[in-house]
Amino acid sequence: MFKPNNHIRITIKGIVQGVGFRPFVYREALAYGVKGFVINTSEGVVIEAHAQECEPFIQALREHLPPRARIDSMEITPCPFAEYENFEIRESTLGHGGVAIPLDSALCPACEAEMDDPSNRRYGYPFINCTDCGPRYTIIQTPPYDRVRTSMKHFTMCSECMSEYTDPTSRRYHAEPISCPNCGPKLSFTDNKGEAIEGDPVTLAVEMLKAGKIIALKGLGGFHLMCDATSDTAVEELRLRKHRRAKPLAVMFSSLEQLEMYVSINEVEKMHITGVIKPIVIVDAVRGTNLSSLIAPRIDRLGVFLPYTPLHRLLFEHIDFPLVATSANISDEPIMIRASEIVERLGNVIDGIVDHDRTIINALDDAVIQIAEGRVVMLRMGRGYAPHTFALSNEKPILALGAHQKSSIALGVKDNMILSGHIGDLGSVEADGYFERTVQTFKRFYEAEPSLLAHDLHPQYASSVYAVAQKREHYGIQHHYAHILACMAEYGLSEKVLGFAFDGTGYGEDGNLWGGEVMIADVHGYERIGYLKPMALLGGDKAIKEPRRIALSLLFECFSLDEVMELKIPTVEAFLPHEIRTLHHMWSKNINAPHSSSMGRLFDAVASLGGFVQSLDYEGQGGMMMESFVDDSIVTPFAFEIENGVIDVSPMVKEIITLGAENQTIIASRFLSTIEAIMEHFANMNSELPIVIGGGVFQNRVLMSRLYRRFGEGRFYAQQQTPINDGSIALGQLYYALHNTKETNER
């Protein structure tokens, strides 16, 4: 009997390509006796379903979703009755534009089991994958996602692979990177000059690692540099050769069991570590293990991950120690994807290279996350998370070019906002080149020729220079406002919010360096209602590397020169007397002493006053070193004054001096409470507004945990899907431009 709700057309949008979605629909249709078809279209996946009862089928679609799929919307309309013999998967009629690009996935358990099974034809095969796992974005040249438009096009499927690929009941039905030892990519091994070395590449790599050598190994989105994480000599050699003094290195473990011997993790952390993406998760290190102390000097947190490609897994079959696995790049440049590049630029760092002939088309670093009060805080959006797509309709294509450090771009097109993965710090030929290539890739992927560009206000950022050079309509958007907008974008907020943008330094509307900003903002503009009283950065950029210089200028605010010279504190002791006099002269005459309201710089200054660190090896080191000392039972804030929105921390500086560097735990703990108290002051004054935060300072896990506890659910918004640091400035810029194009204003 004909009932309208049993003859329906279902249109599904979201992440539905390259995740085994159509075979999943097929299997559910068979299970529920549904006839009709499923097809990929430019509008999303369309299903025509005819059955006695369609409701259980619809419910199953929602509930049994494949791990990497995401349903953003499901539209169900009645359709005319039609006679179908069965349920079929129809060939795609894909346009581009509105379709989300499929994301890379870590090796799945089913493929793991196959590669361990000696009777399986993919036993020990380093490129095994299926519709649930394997490379996606990193191998796509141009959508729609079909093998001919990926770097797998060079490999002709053998008959066995072909029959799996075309069988709707197979785990590899339309798994585009499908291959096997007979027809797929091959591993190779070379020395650091690119000369091929005979032998089994995995065995050669294992021998080198066991001998304390450093290898480069090709992963999904680029090469890793790897060495024995328990060997001081190997790690020291890596640091020396790479000129990376102290910045923590990530460690890969063979298994969860091994990982848990070195770090202490909770259930949420475990879920992410073992999940379908397997990002680097920063967790608490266990003290007294055999891990080299040079991996994360003077920090009790460790970035850890598990093997996420079959190749990593093969490597660990013969190695029983954890491996340092750090991105192959030079300082904060983009990750390298070609062996020739490794030879040319890192040849003096490594001893051997494990390469293969499945080309990486789109470079993508590993994602880095940490967990605060059960929520994700994303520090680097990379493999498995990027590009990140949000549904939001807009009229004309808009391109946002982001900031300068932790560069990323964002594109607004048709029904989506798309944020790219981590590009790196701009300002080098490699980074700027990769930035421009990402722009081209996005234009091609989403068939967009943006007529409007959004960029940072800083005129010298490479991204701003690029935007202006395009000779199109362009908007400059204040950096810290963009931080607040990015969080608003993630949660779809558009009305007034109370925003805290606590960051390193960014260009302010008045030409000064901002970074400790409190604002009331909506999608059309903001009012700066509070900011940290600007501090002199004595020596400009030098002060950013040397927290003692910022601390000294805070001391000059509180004391006379003679009094400062008398202070027996780490900041003062870190200088020679004549240096202090020179810096005082600079401070009083305002010579090479730009002022900044940056909260990140205040963290650095306190790190100096408390004797944690005087000169930095990497960005954010001051905050990270203090984090290790925080005692959550110490919650009394230091004194501070707020007048006309200007936050003066001089009273705190005096209290810290009185406490002295022997009270590091108290200083670190009470300082975080002070930040909370400052935020609470503004929160109470604007109690009707939602609280939104953004900026690099919130990478501090202890601070984030405390904020979640203090402000709780309902009112407090912090990014979880996109980076909380400059990695999502582009998203904020895009969100502004989307709401402020001429068309929207005219309405």
- Residues of this chain that interact with Zn ion (CB under 5 A) are 108, 111, 130, 132-133, 158, 161, 180, 182-183
Three-state secondary structure along 275-343?
CCCCCEEEEEECCCCCCCCCCCCCCCEEEEECCCCHHHHHHHHCCCCCEEEEECCCCCCCCCCCHHHHH
E strand or H helix at 37: strand 35-41
Instruction: Tell me the closest approach of the beta carbon of residue 162 to Zn ion, in angstroms.
Output: 8
Residue owning tokens 């093969």:
314
Nearer to Zn ion, 177 or 727 (CB): 177
- Which CA distances in Å does 549 have to 348, 473, 553? 35, 41, 6
Closer to Zn ion by Cβ: residue 161 or 602: 161
Q: Which of 95, 23, 629 is nearest to 414 (CA)?
A: 95
Q: 111 vs 367, which CB is nearer to Zn ion?
A: 111
Token readout for 607 is 């790190």
Where b means 16+ CB within 10 Å and e means fewer, 218-253 reads: bbbbbbbbbbbbbbeebbebbbeebebebbbbbbbb
Q: How far is the CB of 276 from Zn ion (least distance, A)?
A: 10
* The residue to which tokens 């920090």 are assigned: 299
> Cα dist. 433→292, 438, 457, 657 in Å?
36, 9, 21, 47
Question: What's the CA gap between 9 and 736, in Å, rounded?
Answer: 36
In angstroms, the CA 577 to CA 28 distance is 77
Q: What is the DSSP letter of 131?
A: T
Nearer to Zn ion, 180 or 572 (CB): 180
Q: How far is the CB of 638 from Zn ion (least distance, A)?
A: 53
| CA pair distance 360, 140, nearest whole angstrom | 9
Measured from the CB of residue 120, what is the shortest distance to Zn ion in angstroms? 12
CB-nearer residue toward Zn ion: 111 or 217: 111
Q: For the stretch 580-617, what's the b/e string if a residue is b when 16 or more beta carbons lie within 10 angstroms of its beta carbon?
A: beebbebbeeeeebbebbbbbbbbbbbbbbbbbbbebe
Q: CB-wise, 152 or 702, nearer to Zn ion? A: 152
User: Shortest Cβ distance from residue 153 to Zn ion (Å)?
Assistant: 15
Nearest-approach distance from CB 405 to Zn ion, in angstroms = 36
Coil/strand/helix, residue 478: coil
* Contact status, residue 515 vs residue 596, Cβ threshold 8 Å: yes
Least Å from the CB of residue 104 to Zn ion: 12
Q: Give least dist CB 367 to Zn ion, A.
A: 19
CB-nearer residue toward Zn ion: 161 or 369: 161
Q: CA nearest 474: which of 741, 97, 747?
A: 741
**Residue 66 or 347 having the CB closest to Zn ion:** 66
Nearer to Zn ion, 183 or 561 (CB): 183
Shortest distance in whole angstroms from residue 27 CB to Zn ion: 16
CB of 170 to Zn ion, least distance (A): 12
* Short-list 477, 476, 475, 523, CA closest to 499: 523
- Measured from the CB atom, the residue of 177 and 248 that comes closer to Zn ion is 177
Question: What minimum distance in Å lies between the beta carbon of 167 and Zn ion?
Answer: 14
Looking at the Cβ atoms of 3 and 64, the one nearer to Zn ion is: 64
Two tokens at 653? 């500086």
